[in-house]
Amino acid sequence: MATVESESEVDHAGRAREILGFSRWWQVVAAAVMMGLISPYQYVWSSIEGPLATSLGVQDAAIGLVFTVFVVFQAGSQFPVGWWRDRHGPRAITLLAGVLAGGGYLGLAYATEVWQLYLLYALGAVGVGIVYTVAVNTALKWFPDRRGLTTGLGTMAFAAGSALFVPYVRANATPSGYPDVLRNMGLLIGVGILVGAVVLRDPPSGWTDRTVEDVGTDDAGSNDGTTDDPTEDRATSEDATSDGGATIGRRQYTSTEMLRTWQFWVMYAMFVAASGAGLMLTAKVVSFAENLGLAAGIATVSATVLPLSSGAGRLVVGHVSDRVDRERAMAASLLLCGLGLFAVVEFARADSRVGFVVAVVVATFFWSPQYSLFPSMVGDYYGRRHSSANYAALYSAKMWGGVFGGAVAGWLVTATDWTTTFLLGGALALVAAVGALLLRPPDDA
């Protein structure tokens, strides 16, 4: 048996190539493509909400909770999905995601009742949750040396991919044109995910601390799953060294053990606050611009640049966090997000169209990295053996952020006004930034 190596000495790329037969980057490419395909569920909703309401003959308020339902089902599905994936691999569950996510959009093209809209979007949201969990943790499992960059690539695709759909959707977002749009998107989503599922595979246990020959002897045949013993909570030396300035411990926490650490609950509160602020901007930016009297073209531009900015932020800040202290990178990013939201309000008040778009770009660029920084932090603090389930537990905080960004924000607009609601969102981002400064690895990590 070969001597165990420290992670800094491991040739991750070489070992992965021996296991897969091709570069590990193809795993990230497949995950990123699938993430881009599911992105319309979150980022295109504001553009199809009006035509759907008109077609169904109802007021916008009747379907105003669809976005909240999406967030709840997308985030809530991830813990059971993560638990399954850590034990059985990504392939079967991803095939199911293709049916759900593709079928959801196909079904919307034929919906005739409001309840059908809610049901189809909820089922599609579960498919989105599956793809999201699988994609993010594919990066964590194959790239322990580049967590921030590779999770940034996957989550960037989830945001930026929708920019390819927004102009097409808005150009055809009429009661007569949107059914064809939804059918075409549903077919593309479903087929793309089914193809991606064939490529995905998890690494065998211990692949970073043994020779390829040892891994082949002990773990051969693990084609789409992992043979890790789920009860084994102590690592060998898979996570033994530094990554991105954060101390990576030897201990591989189960979800139950993770829930006993105070760091998890600080991150959970941060996730609620940050996602609430960002999802409010995502869901309400078009309505905000229109209600403050900005031109319709500005609303369209804002809806288009928002996912592009979101994708760029996840990649850039995620990559930077691999080279600096990850906690400080998170604090700085959330601080600038909050300031950007304040600027969105001020430029809208001043009727500055260029300033408004720039502020939307800044706020989104620095909000979105939470989706690459938090999974990287979970890997840093709690190891990667149970990373799918562990990050899914944290990601469930997005449900509460979605409640704020959708239902609560809508109520606040009615009870107060648009500017007060957006200023509150900026304040939530600042609170999350303070939380990041409190974080440090668990003492026994």
Q: What is the SS3 assignment for 78-123? A: HHHHHHHHHHHCCHHHHHHHHHHHHHHHHHHCCCCCHHHHHHHHHH
CA dist., res. 126 & res. 41, Å (int): 11
With beta carbons less than 8 A apart as the criterion, state whether 343 and 359 touch: yes
CA dist., res. 340 & res. 365, Å (int): 9
Our separate counts of H helices and E strands in the chain read 22, 0
Give the pLDDT score at 20: 80
Give the pLDDT score at 219: 39
Class of domain 12-209+235-438: mainly alpha
Measure the N-to-C terminal CA separation of the chain; round to a whole number of Å.
27
Nearest Cα residue to 222 out of 236, 209, 206, 237:
206
pLDDT tens readout for residues 69-85: 888 898 888 888 888 88
Nearest Cα residue to 35 out of 442, 371, 403:
371
CA dist., res. 271 & res. 401, Å (int): 8
Phi, psi at 418, each rounded to 5°: -65, -45
CA dist., res. 34 & res. 97, Å (int): 10
Q: Report the run of H or E that residue 322 belongs to, with start and end.
A: none
Which of the four pLDDT bands, split at 50, 70 and 90, describes residue 296? low
CA dist., res. 86 & res. 94, Å (int): 13
- Which amino acid appears at position 171 of this protein? A
pLDDT tens readout for residues 180-231: 989 999 999 999 999 999 888 888 877 766 544 444 433 333 444 444 443 3
